[in-house]
């Protein structure tokens, strides 16, 4: 079975985002960029399925600017077999990404598509569900466990009340939650090897997909700032504060 | 404008997340509520009483029992022929279904809105809430999820909407429900609690969560939450997690115990009215957002606090 793993290049998890003074967006100049953490989990899951012998080939895909190549090389270094980069200099919304991925799914016919449940930049949490809709496939979102069983896949999902398990007919779409696995680091030899793995470059036009955004960002602003309050010296003072607030009797 | 709201329910009653979605939807136009479930008359009757709901659509079918998106999304898409907007609460369930509906309608969804600026313009959080974007949609129909903490809850009583039965295509045959492990607790639910006591990695293990955090929570009638680190370490189940990708909460009082305050955690709780932080590291970032801070060893301070309340 082939697995498709879409990955996104985003601001690094440890960087605090700064809103640009002119309100046009978040300042990404000279900021460390990395693979979206949920997508790393997706790559890792695909590799584990390959190690178990369930999966035969892992194809990593990214939609974004030319620099997203680096993100794909990371996926290749972790263990993906080949990569496809759909180059688009402007921002592509989840709907546009899902449409491109649907075309790639048509060409590649993967048994599973595994992707992050959300990207930590736009926090949309849409692409996997949209891809499932456009390809008419079932979706196992927010996965914390994935078990392939013949022509179906059992997915345990993190939901508001705890965990839920669903069985999906393959081919299926899975989006990853935090606790599905802990992604590996690429070893130096594998990073070197990744440089010679195939990486195909495409454009949205190659797939006949219009990625014109439907949402116009009018402005981006900082949220209201909280200011640090007071420090209390001991528990008695804290108890007095709580009583004054009416929280404790 | 007419708006279809997805009701979050357990077949018998309506969950609170629905109420904020009704308020947000009411800013766009006339609100109709969709209850998709199995044996869900009770939930439909409860939805009919919500102030601001003009009509309830009840799709009662075993195929809708577990809110499988493969079954529910086509139902919503058919109904959307008669509506201008689809609004769902940004719960695990709403987030699962709404994008599937949006793609089938060829609409770019607007996720987790914080405000309705006009019929086509909304604000929403990005970058873990560190950047608030004002976005204008050019789609003819809107698909929206609503952050529950950003809108007042509509009153549960006061409405008297008619309930109309609707039918969809039923089971898609693509997926089936296997089972669920739902945490049971006598405590208030995290997303609607007035007070929350949250623990972090500093608790060290699951037992300390029970012996340190829970007695304080019980004294205050509070819900118990956790940081990602505590959940990853297995101290508490996943549904305790507060943060960018966990639950978003805004209680009257949020007590962070042994939580350093990573931006991903702050994203989930910084709209709390009063934040109290207890941490032994006086330079922990949590103190930069806390209204009241206490520097100290949680293993001494928290039991003392619980004892004195």
Residue-wise pLDDT tens digits, B246-294: 899 999 999 999 999 999 999 999 999 999 999 999 999 999 999 999 9
Taking 90 as the threshold, does the pLDDT of residue B174 lie above it?
yes
Q: Please, what sign has the CA dihedral across residues A199, A97, A141, B224? A: positive
Interface contact A139, partner B, CB < 8 A: yes
Interface contact A246, partner B, CB < 8 A: no
Given an 8 Å threshold on Cβ–Cβ distance, is B309 in contact with A117? no
Question: In A16-146, where does DSSP find H-type helix?
Answer: 37-51, 68-78, 94-108, 127-135
A247 pLDDT band, cuts 50/70/90, is confident
Q: What percent of chain A has pLDDT over 70?
A: 100
Give residue A84's Cα distance to chain centre.
16
Given an 8 Å threshold on Cβ–Cβ distance, is B126 in contact with A121? yes
Strands A215-221 and B131-137: antiparallel
Instruction: Tell me if A67 sits within 8 A of B82, measured CB to CB.
Output: no
Interface contact A21, partner B, CB < 8 A: no
B301: closest chain A residue by CA: A235
A231 pLDDT band, cuts 50/70/90, is very high
Q: What value does the mean pLDDT take over residues A43-54?
A: 98
Q: How many angstroms separate the CA atoms of B209 and B25, rounded?
A: 39
Taking 80 as the threshold, does the pLDDT of residue A248 lie above it?
no
Instruction: Tell me if B107 sits within 8 A of A93, measured CB to CB.
Output: no
- CA-based nearest residue to A38, from A148, A124, A108: A124
Given an 8 Å threshold on Cβ–Cβ distance, is B245 in contact with A242? no
Among B176, B253, B293, beta carbon nearest to A166? B176
- Rounded to the nearest angstrom, the minimum Cα separation between A234 and chain B is 7
Enter the DSSP assignment of A17.
Answer: P
Instruction: Tell me if A144 sits within 8 A of A33, measured CB to CB.
Output: no
Strands A9-11 and A33-35: antiparallel
pLDDT digits (tens, 9 = 90+) for A174-199: 999 999 999 999 999 999 999 999 99
Give the model's pLDDT for residue A43.
Answer: 98
Taking 90 as the threshold, does the pLDDT of residue B20 lie above it?
yes
A181: closest chain B residue by CA: B232
Given an 8 Å threshold on Cβ–Cβ distance, is B133 in contact with A220? yes
Q: Using CB atoms within 10 A of its CB, is residue A122 exposed (0-12), middle (13-18) or buried (19+)?
A: buried
Q: What value does the mean pLDDT take over residues B62-81?
A: 98
Q: How many angstroms separate the CA atoms of A70 and A50, rounded?
A: 23
- CA-based nearest residue to A86, from A102, A73, A70, A68: A68
Best residue of A10, A179, A215 to probe chain B, by most B CBs closer than 10 Å: A215
What average pLDDT is seen over chain B?
96
Q: Hey, is A95 helix, strand or coil?
A: helix
Given an 8 Å threshold on Cβ–Cβ distance, is B134 in contact with A218? yes
Among B108, B296, B301, beta carbon nearest to A215? B108
Residues of B in contact with A17 (CB under 8 A): 127-128, 130-131
Q: Which chain B residues in 111-170 lie under 8 Å from chain A, judged by CB atoms?
A: 111-112, 121, 125-139
Q: How many angstroms separate the CA atoms of A58 and A110, rounded?
A: 9
Interface contact A221, partner B, CB < 8 A: yes
Is the ipTM higher than 0.90? The answer is: yes
Q: How many angstroms separate the CA atoms of B129 and A226, rounded?
A: 13
Best residue of A98, A247, A248, A249 to probe chain B, by most B CBs closer than 10 Å: A247
Q: Where are the beta strands (DSSP E) in chain B?
A: 2-6, 30-37, 53-60, 85-89, 110-113, 115-118, 121-126, 131-137, 142-146, 162-165, 175-182, 195-199, 223-226, 253-257, 274-279, 292-295
Q: What value does the mean pLDDT take over residues B71-93?
A: 98
């Amino acid at each position: 079975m082939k697995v498709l793993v879409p990955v996104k290049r985003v601001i690094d998890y440890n960087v605090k985002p700064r809103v640009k003074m002119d309100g046009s967006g978040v300042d990404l100049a000279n900021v460390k960029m990395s693979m979206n953490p949920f997508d790393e989990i997706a790559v890792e899951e695909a590799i584990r399925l390959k190690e178990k012998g369930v999966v035969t080939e892992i194809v990593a895909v990214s939609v974004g600017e030319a620099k997203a190549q680096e993100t794909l090389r990371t996926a290749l270094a972790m263990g993906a077999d080949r990569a496809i980069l759909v180059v688009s200099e402007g921002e592509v919304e989840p709907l546009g990404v899902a449409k491109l991925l649907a075309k790639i799914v048509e060409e590649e016919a993967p048994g599973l598509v595994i992707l992050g449940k959300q990207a930590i930049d736009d926090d949309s949490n849409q692409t996997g569900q949209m891809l499932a809709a456009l390809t008419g496939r079932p979706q196992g979102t927010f996965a914390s466990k994935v078990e392939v069983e013949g022509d179906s896949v059992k997915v345990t999902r993190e939901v508001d009340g705890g965990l839920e398990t669903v069985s999906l007919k393959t081919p299926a779409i899975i989006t990853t939650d935090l606790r599905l696995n802990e992604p590996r680091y690429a070893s130096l030899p594998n990073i070197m090897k990744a440089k010679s793995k195939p990486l195909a470059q495409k454009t949205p036009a190659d797939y006949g997909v219009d990625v014109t955004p439907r949402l116009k960002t009018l402005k981006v602003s900082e949220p209201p700032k909280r200011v640090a309050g007071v420090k209390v010296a001991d528990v008695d003072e804290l108890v007095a504060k709580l009583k004054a607030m009416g929280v404790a009797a | 404008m007419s708006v279809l709201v997805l009701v979050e329910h357990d077949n018998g009653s309506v969950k609170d997340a629905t109420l904020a979605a009704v308020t947000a939807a009411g800013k766009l136009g006339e609100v109709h509520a969709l209850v998709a479930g199995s044996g869900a008359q009770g939930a439909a009757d409860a939805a009919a009483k919500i102030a601001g709901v003009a009509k309830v659509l009840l799709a009662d079918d075993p195929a809708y029992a577990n809110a499988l998106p493969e079954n529910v999304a086509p139902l919503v898409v058919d109904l959307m022929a008669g509506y201008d907007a689809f609004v769902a609460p940004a719960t695990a369930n709403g987030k699962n279904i709404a994008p599937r509906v949006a793609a089938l309608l060829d609409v770019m969804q607007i996720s987790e809105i914080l405000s309705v600026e006009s019929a086509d313009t909304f604000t929403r959080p990005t970058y873990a809430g560190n950047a608030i974007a004002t976005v204008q949609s050019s789609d003819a129909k809107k698909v929206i999820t609503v952050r529950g903490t950003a809108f007042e809850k509509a009153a549960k009583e006061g409405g008297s909407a008619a309930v109309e039965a609707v039918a969809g295509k039923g089971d898609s045959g693509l997926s089936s429900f296997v089972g669920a492990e739902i945490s049971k607790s006598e405590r208030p639910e995290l997303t609607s609690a007035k007070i929350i006591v949250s623990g972090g990695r500093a608790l060290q293990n699951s037992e300390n969560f029970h012996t340190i955090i829970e007695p304080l929570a019980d004294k205050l009638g509070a819900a118990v939450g956790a940081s990602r680190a505590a959940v990853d370490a297995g101290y508490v189940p996943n549904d305790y997690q507060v943060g960018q990708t966990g639950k978003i909460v805004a209680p009257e009082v949020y007590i962070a115990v042994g939580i350093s305050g990573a931006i991903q955690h702050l994203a989930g709780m910084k709209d709390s009215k009063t934040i109290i932080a207890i941490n032994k590291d006086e330079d922990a970032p949590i103190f930069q957002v806390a209204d009241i801070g206490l520097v100290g060893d949680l293993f001494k301070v928290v039991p003392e606090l619980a004892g004195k309340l």
